[in-house]
């Protein structure tokens, strides 16, 4: 009996554990990325180097996948006064514009606010607004350019 116990304890020592690694038990899934403020003249010029982007400390509003038909749009702009799809959650960015949020697998739309209006200016071929997809056990990388004060 002692020999069996000794061999069994050796198995634990060699393998580390009979349990799966901790990472596989609590894989993260959701979105991570940056919100950048893009402003001023963005036209390329050999005389002026690219100014780069500055991280924007803001709040990212996450909704279920939202189409242009699901919003109250301000004229033909990328500003919206209302969104009729299901609100999911918000996440604040840090001073560098970085954010990370856990979400269930699914398709979502991202917005930020400028004053009292929502802003988002990325669309897919079906007019879904800033569509992102979260897949199980993966973090989806996102870059959101807040370029409402930029000139192209």
Instruction: List the chain domain ranges.
Output: 26-151
- Burial of 38 from C-beta contacts in 10 A (0-12 / 13-18 / 19+): middle
* 126/105 Cα distance (integer angstroms): 21
Mean pLDDT of 71-99: 97
Instruction: Output the pLDDT for position 17.
Output: 41
Instruction: Output the pLDDT for position 104.
Output: 97
- Is the predicted pLDDT of residue 18 greater than 70, yes or no? no
Structure token pair of residue 102: 């856990």
- Is the predicted pLDDT of residue 40 greater than 70, yes or no? no
CA distances from 134 to 83, 103, 107, 138 (A): 21, 7, 6, 7
In words, the CATH class of domain 26-151 is mainly beta
Higher-confidence position of 115 and 49? 115
For the chain, the average pLDDT equals 82
Do 97 and 33 touch, CB atoms closer than 8 A? no
- Is the predicted pLDDT of residue 19 greater than 70, yes or no? no
Higher-confidence position of 143 and 10? 143
Mean pLDDT of 108-122: 96
Neighbours of 116 (CB within 10 A): 7
Strand 98-102 relative to strand 59-64, pairing:
unpaired
Instruction: Output the pLDDT for position 12.
Output: 41
Do 99 and 33 touch, CB atoms closer than 8 A? yes
CA angle, 67 then 41 then 92, to 5°: 50
Q: How distant is the alpha carbon of residue 137 from its chain centre?
A: 15
């Amino acid at each position: 009996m002692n020999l069996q116990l000794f061999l069994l304890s050796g198995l634990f020592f060699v393998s580390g554990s009979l349990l799966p690694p901790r990472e596989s038990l609590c894989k993260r899934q959701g979105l991570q990325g940056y919100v950048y403020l893009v402003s001023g003249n963005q036209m390329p010029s050999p005389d002026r180097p690219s100014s780069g982007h500055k991280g924007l400390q803001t709040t990212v509003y996450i909704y279920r996948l939202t189409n242009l038909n699901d919003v109250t749009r301000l004229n033909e702009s990328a500003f919206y006064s209302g969104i009729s799809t299901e609100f999911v959650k918000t996440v604040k960015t840090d001073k560098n514009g970085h954010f990370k949020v856990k979400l269930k697998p699914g398709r979502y739309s991202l917005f930020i606010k400028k004053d009292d209006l929502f802003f988002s200016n990325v669309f897919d071929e079906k007019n879904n607004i800033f569509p992102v997809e979260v897949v199980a056990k993966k973090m989806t990388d996102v870059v959101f350019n807040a370029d409402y004060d930029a000139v192209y």
